[in-house]
Amino acid sequence: MYRITLGEGYTLKNGEKTDKIAKENKEEITKAVEKFFLEKYKTEVIVHNRVGANDGASVYVESLREPHFYT
């Protein structure tokens, strides 16, 4: 089992395996996440990072307007 470290004490199972897939599909993931936040929450976001995780990818975003958030 592989793990990618995401800062202090945070890791994702199988990250090394799926991280390559997340990087190869960077544009598709970014567009899908931006569309999801716009349709579901009517909020524009910037995608800062995509990392592989067990059976998928974890995506880190920041809102462009108020309320300002990172998730």
Residue range 23-64, pLDDT digits in tens:
899 999 999 999 999 999 999 999 999 988 888 888 999 999
How confident is the model at residue 3, as a pLDDT? 45
Is the pLDDT assigned to residue 6 strictly greater than 80? no
Of the candidates 45, 46, 49, the residue with the CA atom closest to the CA atom of residue 60: 49
Q: With CA atoms as reference, report the closest residue to 62 among 34, 23, 31, 27.
A: 34
Beta strands in the chain (DSSP E): 3-5, 11-13, 45-53, 56-63
pLDDT for residue 15 is more than 80: no
